């Protein structure tokens, strides 16, 4: 299996947890990467430190991006338009939407005389 390389351009995002410690110092840790933890006197310094460490790990190849495929991810969003069950489902959905639209239009035609939104003059 070949390991894909992380792009050298563009921005990657990673969640970071920042905590104010009792001694008044801040600690920041990259979520899921306990080795990337920085303590400093300000929140900004901790974030800069985590940013630098993540950059070093990416540059050195210690941290790489991989794609994981699950059985569900290969199925999600890929319905077979020729599947009779899928067609029946879509037809039923369209019918229900049409019925809902008709009901809504009928209610609007009747008006809402018992509604508290009726202006009182």
Distance in angstroms (rounded) separating the CA atoms of residues 71 and 86: 19
Token duo for residue 72? 């569900």
20 and 56, same structural domain? yes
52 and 85 in a single domain? The answer is no
Q: Residue 41: give the domain boundaries.
A: 16-60
Confidence of residue 116 (pLDDT cuts 50, 70, 90): low
Same domain, 24 and 54: yes
> Is there a single domain that holds both residue 21 and residue 54?
yes
> Which of these, 58, 53, 61, 66, lies nearest to 9 by C-alpha position?
58
Which tens digit of pLDDT belongs to each residue from 71-109?
A: 665 556 667 778 888 889 889 999 999 999 888 888 887
Separation between Cα atoms, residue 64 and residue 4, nearest integer Å: 7
Residues 53 and 21 in one domain: yes
pTM over 0.85: no
Total domains in the fold of the chain? 2
In a domain, 27, yes or no: yes
pLDDT at 68: 77
Residue 3 lies in a domain: no
Domain membership of residue 21 (yes or no) is yes
């Amino acid at each position: 299996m070949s390991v894909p390389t992380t792009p050298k351009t563009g921005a990657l995002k990673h969640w970071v947890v920042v905590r104010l410690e009792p001694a008044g110092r801040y600690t920041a840790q990259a979520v899921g990467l306990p080795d990337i933890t920085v303590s400093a006197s300000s929140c900004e310094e901790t974030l800069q430190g985590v940013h630098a460490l993540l950059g070093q790990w990416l540059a050195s190849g210690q941290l790489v991006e991989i794609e994981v495929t699950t059985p569900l991810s290969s199925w999600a969003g890929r319905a077979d338009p020729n599947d009779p069950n899928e067609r029946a489902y879509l037809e039923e959905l369209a019918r229900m939407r049409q019925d809902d639209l008709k009901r809504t239009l009928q209610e609007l035609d009747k008006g809402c005389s018992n509604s508290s939104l009726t202006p009182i003059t």
